[in-house]
Amino acid sequence: MAEEGIALPPYGYSMKRSRRARIVATLGPASRAPGMVKALAQAGVDVFRLNFSHGTHEDHAAALKAVRGAELALKRPLGVLADLQGPKLRLGKFKDVEIDIKPGHKMRFDLDATPGDATRVQMPHPEIFKALRTGMLLLLDDGRVRLRVNERADDWADVTVESGSKLSDRKGVAVPEAVVPVSALTPKDREDLAFALRIGVDWVALSFVQKAEDMAELKQIVKGRAACLAKIEKPQALLELESILDYCDGVMVARGDLGVELEPEEVPVAQKQIIRAARQRGVPVIVATQMLESMTASPAPTRAEASDVANAAYEGADALMLSAETASGDYPLESVGVMSRIIERVEKDPMWPSLMDAEHAGMDDFDADALVAAARKAAEAQSTACIVVFTTLGGTARRMARERPLQPVLALTPKPETARRLALVWGLETRLGKEPTSLEDVTEDAVNCAVEYDMAQPGQRILILAGTPFGAPGAANLLRLAHAPAKAKR
């Protein structure tokens, strides 16, 4: 059951981040124990990922419970992201488990379940055969084997090896030049999704999204019970990126599988394309995969990895993700600490503000966007300590984050689910607060919370962004200036 009874402590000491970009960490055998989860949150993790490609439902339920416990102990909202496995297209089996191949080797793929040999093997996916065309490229085993289609029918394809030396049982199949007509939600995904929603996750990530309809289907099932995130790891998704973003609460640059189907030189370009499109819309964007990969077995990263993390922070990504580094690696805490320090160093670079502004999102023609843009501009005055945003469902807070203000942003919400979803968003320090009922309530809560959470000193200017009528979800229509009191009142 979802943890409906757990409320975040709205007041009192609460750990504050000293950086804007957020950190997502994957939980696994090396990290899902309650003590380790709390330590990871203290070290800098804002959102914890449950990878449904591995582990049991019991494992994931225990991990979520540990996150909720850490949240209560640290008095800081923590998000939980359920990452669905998605469709896995694989070859069948070989009689001898593995065959030797070389460039020029010819063989057939078919639907026959008989164990294969060097001349033929099963590919149990009729939908792939229907999508293939003569001359198309096939990638096997994460791109280690490249094949070209010579001839095809609805139940077989003859191929020639272009590169590779060995091929073994159950290797993955990728078709980078075609949209394969398979649902992004497999029967396993549907079962995992129902379970994830039942235990109360905050985000759901859909793997191998190819088109907007994939996300529309997910949103229809979820019905607002969690925020929905698209993993961009197919070339076809890049072609449909804008329409996919129409259905997204968040997006992930999933560079592992994206790098299988794209040439290496195309992956950094795709990363920038996705980040830029997401930032323009104010959709939170995560950069993922191999960020500190060497730290699965080493206490320090390579210099190239440090640069990779820094570049994602310079690009303005909302969050950076650790996978095996925290799930199964030998140095989960060290990995989080290193990532956090790299981000902090980037954000101290005198050039960083101008880089943020260079990718500044264009303003939409809505009153709320105009008001948020005005708040960002007004906050640039040196005497402004912070911006306080009142938000019910998170829309106003996300609009503020899209502006990438350099001043701290405190987002106050009466809803725990909103606070947890906003844990993924750039620059927001989100806390639970009571529902305001008047302008006086808004002003008093804003200035008191700003002082109590150490985001303003007595006498400093605070900008307040809220919406009226109070207590009803809607766009911001109120911008107010106030000053922090000598002492917070509670």
pLDDT tens digit at each of 490 positions of the chain: 444 434 555 545 567 899 999 999 999 999 999 999 999 999 999 999 999 999 999 999 999 999 999 999 999 999 999 999 999 899 999 999 999 999 999 999 999 999 999 999 999 999 999 999 999 999 999 899 999 999 999 999 999 999 999 999 989 999 999 888 888 899 999 999 999 999 999 999 999 999 999 999 999 999 999 999 999 999 999 999 999 999 999 999 999 989 998 989 999 999 999 999 999 999 999 999 999 999 999 999 999 999 999 999 999 999 999 999 999 999 999 999 999 999 999 999 999 998 887 777 666 657 778 888 888 888 887 779 999 999 999 999 999 999 999 999 999 999 999 999 999 999 999 999 888 888 998 999 999 999 989 999 988 999 999 988 776 777 788 889 999 887 656 5
User: What integer pLDDT is reported at residue 361 of this predicted model?
Assistant: 67
pTM of the model: 0.92
CA atoms within 13 A on the CB side of 202: 28
Catalytic entry in 17, 19, 22, 49:
49
**49 in active site:** yes
**Residue 467: is it exposed, middle or buried by C-beta count within 10 angstroms (0-12/13-18/19+)?**
buried
The answer to whether 481 and 417 have CB atoms below 8 angstroms apart is: no
Catalytic entry in 19, 152, 255, 289:
289
Dihedral sign computed on CA atoms, order 442, 426, 226, 47: negative
Catalytic entry in 231, 234, 255, 431:
231
The amino acid occupying position 279 is R
CA distance 428 to 77: 11
CA distance 387 to 62: 36
**146 in active site:** no
CB atoms within 10 A of CB 294: 17
Catalytic entry in 75, 90, 211, 272:
90
User: What integer pLDDT is reported at residue 473 of this predicted model?
Assistant: 73
The answer to whether 69 and 135 have CB atoms below 8 angstroms apart is: no
Strands of 28-136, DSSP E: 47-51, 79-83, 98-100, 106-110, 120-122
CA distance 194 to 127: 26
Of 424, 422, 443, give the one whose Cα is nearest residue 432: 422
CA distance 127 to 323: 31
User: What integer pLDDT is reported at residue 11 of this predicted model?
Assistant: 43
